[in-house]
A and B are shown apart, each in its own frame.
Chain A
Amino acid sequence: MNVEFINPFIKTTAEVISTMAFIEPAAGKPYRKKDQSAGGDVSGLIGLVGEKITGSFAISFTESCIRKIVSNMLEEEIDEVNQDILDAVGEITNMISGGVRAKLQEMGHNFKMATPSVISGKSHAISHITEGPVIIIPFDTEKGPFFIEACLNEKKKDK
């Protein structure tokens, strides 16, 4: 994955979480994903299908972290992973996707609109829609970490 693609993810994610939940997440150093399991308990996954570059990205939240984020978003205390949390993770994924696509467009890459899917459960796996290396960007908050997984690669030429 082109390293220039990492910054749009970091910027947009911080923007979305701070605007919606009044939490300033701290981004850590990106690294390459080594196994299938997601870092968190609730994840949103969405396709990033473009003309030259294609793939997907996911955002995976630990339970305590997403409970705090959604409690702040809805201004009510949420103490379990419920429908509100699953909905909110879908919506956060959607917003990050929109922001990232707008930034990648400025870099000359167009992507189609897509619908997110949400996965939950302890140590669930995330399957990206294309093969190729997955880059993880860890973020930390007072209530625990969350992770962005980005998998964006040049389309293989049709044979």
Chain B
Amino acid sequence: MTDTNMKILVVDDFATMRKIIKNILKKLGFQNIAEAEDGVSALEVLKKQEIDFIVSDWNMPNMSGLELLKAIRSDEALKDKPVLMVTAEAQKENIVEAVKAGVNNYVVKPFTPETMKEKIDKIFA
């Protein structure tokens, strides 16, 4: 069972999309959710708060989700944090790139709450 008390960081440049992802996570029972609007601000949150799980968009200004993932994997304190990438990019080479960079799982937008749950459960199984 996935621990619904864990603290999740939702990273997306669109406030609307953060709201949608938060709504879905709340429906799945998660209450403890922080937000960031790009990779740079996500790293700041990660340094200040104890985050258990990162759900990040790919396509963002300043620092993309892929760059954020690489920064997390190369940081001694953060490198083991699970990361779920949420993106509209469904092309094979994008998925391969994210997997190479150490992503834990990958959701293609648009997605249903059921798909989100499946992907999260797989990470924490």
Chain B residues positioned under 8 Å from A74 (CB to CB)? 16, 19-20, 23
The answer to whether B123 has its CB under 8 Å from any CB of chain A is no
Name which residue of chain A comes closest to B64, CB basis.
Answer: A113
The answer to whether A19 has its CB under 8 Å from any CB of chain B is yes
Q: Are B110 and A20 in contact (CB under 8 A)?
A: yes
Contact mask for chain A residues 1-35; partner B; CB cutoff 8 A; 1 contact, 0 none:
00000000000000110011000000000000000
Q: Are A87 and B89 in contact (CB under 8 A)?
A: no
List CB contacts (< 8 Å) of B70-108 with chain A: 87-92, 108
Q: Which of B17, B88, B90, B91 has the most CB of A within 10 A?
A: B88
Q: Are A88 and B89 in contact (CB under 8 A)?
A: no
Give the distance in Å from the alpha carbon of A60 to the alpha carbon of B123 in the complex. Answer: 38
Chain B residues positioned under 8 Å from A90 (CB to CB)? 14
Q: Are A75 and B110 in contact (CB under 8 A)?
A: no
Could you say which interface size class chain B belongs to? 10 to 19
Q: Are A73 and B20 in contact (CB under 8 A)?
A: yes
- Chain A nearest CB, measured from B28 CB (Å): 15
With contacts defined as CB atoms under 8 Å apart, how many contacts are there between chain A and chain B in the complex?
Answer: 57
- Chain A nearest CB, measured from B90 CB (Å): 4
Q: Are B91 and A101 in contact (CB under 8 A)?
A: yes
Give the distance in Å from the alpha carbon of A91 to the alpha carbon of B14 in the complex. Answer: 7
Q: Are B109 and A95 in contact (CB under 8 A)?
A: yes
The answer to whether A105 has its CB under 8 Å from any CB of chain B is yes
The answer to whether A94 has its CB under 8 Å from any CB of chain B is yes
Give the distance in Å from the alpha carbon of A99 to the alpha carbon of B110 in the complex. Answer: 9
Chain A residues positioned under 8 Å from B87 (CB to CB)? 98
Within 8 Å by CB of A19, from B14, B17, B90, B112, lies: B112
Give the distance in Å from the alpha carbon of A95 to the alpha carbon of B59 in the complex. Answer: 11
Chain B residues positioned under 8 Å from A54 (CB to CB)? none
Name which residue of chain B comes closest to A96, CB basis.
Answer: B88
Q: Are B17 and A87 in contact (CB under 8 A)?
A: yes
Q: In the complex, given contacts A74-B16, A94-B109, A99-B88, what are 4 additional A-B residue pairs having Cβ atoms less than 8 angstroms apart? A: A19-B110, A87-B14, A105-B91, A115-B59
Interface residues of A (CB under 8 A from B): 15-16, 19-20, 70, 73-75, 83-84, 87-88, 90-91, 94-95, 97-99, 101-102, 105, 110, 113, 115
